[in-house]
Chain A
Amino acid sequence: MLLSGPVLADDHVVLIDEDVDFSAFRTFTIGTVTVTSKHPALNSPVVPRVLREAANAVLMNRGLAPVASQPALIVDSSVRSVDYGIDRMGRPVEQGVSRGRGRRQPNPNQPDFTEGTLVIDVIRADTKALVWRGVYHDTDPDASRVAAALPEHVKTLLSRFPRLRK
Chain B
Amino acid sequence: MFALMAAMLSADESNVQFDPRIDFGAFRTFSFRAQQVDSRRVELDNPLFLKKLATAIRRGLIGKGLTETNGQPDVVVEFIVTGEEFGDVERRLIRRVPAGPVAVRRPVRITEGTLVIDIFRRGDADPVWRGVYRDDERTGSKLVNKLPDDARKLLEKYPRVRR
Contact = CB atoms under 8 A, between A and B. Distances in A.
B34 interface: no
Contacts of B141: 11-13, 135
Interface residues of B, number: 28
Interface in B61-97: 85-89
B139 A11 contact: yes
Interface in A47-69: none
A87 B109 CA distance: 13
Contacts of A87: 87
B91 to A, nearest CB: 9
Contacts of A2: 104-107
A141 to B, nearest CB: 12
B104 A13 contact: no
B51 to A, nearest CB: 7
A114 to B, nearest CB: 13
Contacts of A135: 42-43, 140-141
Contacts of A1: 102-105
Contacts of A18: 55
Interface string A81-119: 000101101111110000000000000000000000101
A46 interface: no
A3 B140 contact: no
Nearest to A7: B107
Given A117-B42, A133-B46, A9 B138 contact: yes
Nearest to B43: A135
Given A117-B42, A135-B42, A17 B87 contact: no
A41 interface: no
Nearest to A113: B107
Given A3-B105, A15-B49, A91 B88 contact: yes
B48 interface: yes
Nearest to B143: A13
A89 B51 CA distance: 39
Interface of A: 1-3, 7-9, 11-13, 15-18, 84, 86-87, 89-94, 117, 119, 129-133, 135, 137
30 contacts: A1-B104, A1-B105, A2-B105, A3-B104, A3-B106, A8-B108, A9-B138, A11-B139, A11-B141, A13-B145, A15-B43, A15-B48, A16-B48, A18-B55, A84-B87, A86-B107, A89-B89, A90-B106, A91-B89, A92-B108, A117-B42, A130-B47, A130-B48, A131-B48, A132-B48, A133-B43, A133-B48, A135-B42, A135-B141, A137-B139
